[in-house]
Every structure is written in C-alpha cells, then in structure tokens.
C-alpha cells in the first residue's frame, strides 16, 4: 500500500523514511532542499506534484519527521498529528526553549555541572532550521480512523520515544501492517528520550517505563509487519519487540548492579554505562541512565533521595 522513500537528514541516525500512498505522505522529513528534492523525485515518479498531496500524517514531532510538512500545507494539504505533537509542531522553537529551561536544572540535579548542562541543552538549537513550524488541521486520537487511498487506517497512541506518538495500522494483502515511526526499529534500539513535564511545574513523564508498556501492548496486537521511521521494515514484529524488551531488561539489571555498589547519581550511572561521552551524546546518555533508574524505582528496587541538591539512588 505504501511506498517507502529514504529521505536524507543531517542527523546521526541517518536517513528517515517517508511513506507515500495515493495522495497521502507520512513523515515527510526535515526541512532542507536536499530532503525536498528527494521527495519531489519520489512524487514525480508517481506523476504527482506537491499540490496533489491532500494530507500529511505525522507520527511524532521530531524535526526529521515533520520539518517539510509546512511546504505541503502551504500547497493545500491537511496536516494530521496528535494534539500534543501538533502543539510542538506549531512552535518548535518555543518547545525547545521550554525543554532547555527545564533540563538545565534537571541535569544539574542529576550530577552534571551547570555549565555543562547549559552547553548540552544548547546543542539542539542547531536543529531549528530543520523543524519549520506548521499548523495541524486534524488532531488524531486512539481509535480514530484516517482514510488513505480509500483504505481505513486505525490510529493508536504509544509512548516512550517522543511526545504524542501515533501509529497507523491497516490491512494489506491479508496482513496486518502498521506505520510505527520510531517506537520500534529493526536493527537499532529507539532512544527513550527524556521529556519535561507536560506543563510547567508538573510531573516529569517516566518515559522508559511507558516505553516498555507500549511495547508489550503493541506486541499483543499481532501485527505482521512494521513500516519504521528509519532503515528497513520489521518483518517479524513480535520477535523484534521481544528483543528490544530483553535488551531493556538487561540494561536495567546493569544499572541495578551499578547502584548496588553504593549511593549513585544519574551521572554516575551514565559514566558506568558509556564511559566518557562527548557533550553531543549527553542527552541520549542521560536519557538512558535516568530511564533505567525510573524502571528500577517503579519496581521498588531502588529509592531516590536528594543530597546537596543532587539525586542519589540506593538499592531498597
């Protein structure tokens, strides 16, 4: 049903997958002339122009997935996304400033110096040109149906990689398939990126526990194939989900062993797992360290306290 188009990105993950069916584009890629040219080539091959596209579906509000959506909307297409994702896409710069404000303080409480925390949170500013703001014409929730090329797609909510993630499931040639964004990838493990509270002063989402729960839920849906946000499709979804969950469990055990050696800060865990990371990898590294501490805390295997304004974890 969908044609996969590999769109170049400037990001470490490499190319992102856009999908085309009929007059629908899913996750058009980042705002750049190189990415736009590749997408135009794919449309030309189908005898389509940008103005022929009627709708753009966005799985989640990361720049490599939505940056070009505004060009299609300017040409007349509707943009469909989750309410949470749509709010971010409307003003990605404002979202980034909110995240920077939150994570400077949060990372300092995790054991990183304030100067380093500021440097780490400033790095994503380089992504702003690739994340052009765009409005949302329809907000999609779990259970909604989206019609693509006269076929119904069912919308479901997942969590763990980005705010407001959505997947789109459909039947094709006797199989149940889904476009899953980055919640499941074939040969790399999706990053459980830390998220700030939905509103200032609220509770920080426990991303990795939610990620694991989404994976377990998704495994029970019995899909036959996943069209992923990066690299090749996943032809055995259940096996891949089991492998990701097993990897998460193994890493949580590693983190428990680190905490078992004595009172431990999140930065201690990050260093134990990854050694000396460059600043460009701190956010991903801290996301993994805190994520697994969140898992252990949810299991009542560790307790958290503060010492000198820094989070300290100990085994129960």
DSSP letters spanning 81-118: E-HHHHHHHHTHHHHHHHHHHHHHHHHHHTT--HHHHH
pLDDT bracket for residue 266 (50, 70, 90):
very high
Distance of CA 217 to CAs 37, 68, 158, 195, Å?
Answer: 38, 31, 9, 21
Domains of the chain with bracketed CATH: 3-92+128-244 (3.60.15.10)
**pLDDT for 293:** 98
**pLDDT at position 201, please?**
86
Q: What is the pLDDT of residue 25?
A: 98
Q: Provide the CB-side half-sphere exposure for 14 (13 A, CA).
A: 6
Between vectors from CA 13 to CA 7 and to CA 18, what angle results, nearest 5°? 25
Q: Is the pLDDT of residue 4 over 90?
A: yes
By CB atoms closer than 10 A (0-12, 13-18, 19+), residue 152 is exposed
Torsion of CA 25, 30, 36, 37, to 10 degrees: -120
User: If you average pLDDT over every residue of the chain, what do you get?
Assistant: 97
- What are the tens digits of pLDDT across the range 153-170? 999 999 999 999 999 999
Task: Compute the average pLDDT of residues 176-185.
Answer: 98
pTM: 0.96
Q: How far apart (Å, rounded) are the C-alpha atoms in residues 114 and 120?
A: 10
Of the chain, the percentage scoring pLDDT greater than 90 comes to: 97
């Amino acid at each position: 049903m969908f044609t996969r188009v590999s769109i170049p990105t400037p990001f470490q993950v490499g190319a992102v997958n856009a999908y085309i069916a009929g007059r629908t584009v899913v996750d058009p890629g980042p705002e750049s002339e190189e990415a736009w040219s590749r997408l135009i080539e794919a449309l030309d091959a189908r005898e389509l122009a940008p103005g022929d596209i009627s709708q753009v579906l966005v799985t989640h509000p990361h720049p490599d997935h939505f940056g070009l959506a505004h060009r299609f909307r300017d040409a007349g297409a509707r943009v469909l996304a989750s309410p949470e994702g749509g709010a971010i896409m409307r003003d990605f710069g404002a979202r980034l400033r909110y995240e920077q404000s939150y994570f400077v303080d949060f990372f300092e409480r995790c054991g990183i110096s304030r100067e380093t925390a500021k440097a780490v949170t400033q790095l994503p500013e380089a992504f702003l040109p690739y994340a052009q703001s765009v409005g949302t014409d329809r907000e999609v929730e779990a259970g909604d149906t989206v019609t693509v090329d006269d076929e119904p797609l069912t919308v479901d909510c997942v969590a763990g990689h980005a705010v407001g993630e959505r997947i789109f499931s459909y039947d094709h040639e006797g199989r149940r398939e889904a476009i899953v964004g980055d919640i499941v990838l074939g040969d790399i493990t999706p990053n459980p990126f830390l998220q700030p509270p939905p509103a200032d002063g609220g509770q920080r989402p426990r991303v990795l526990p939610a990620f694991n729960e989404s994976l377990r839920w998704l495994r029970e849906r019995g899909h036959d194939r996943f069209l992923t946000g990066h690299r090749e499709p996943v032809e055995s979804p259940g096996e891949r989900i089991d492998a990701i969950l097993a990897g998460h469990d193994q890493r949580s055990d590693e983190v428990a062993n680190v905490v078992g050696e004595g009172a431990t800060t999140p930065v201690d865990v990050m260093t134990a797992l990854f050694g000396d990371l460059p600043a460009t990898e701190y956010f991903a590294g801290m996301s993994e360290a805190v994520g697994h501490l969140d898992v252990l805390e949810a299991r009542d295997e560790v307790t958290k306290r503060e010492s000198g304004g820094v989070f300290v974890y100990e085994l129960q």
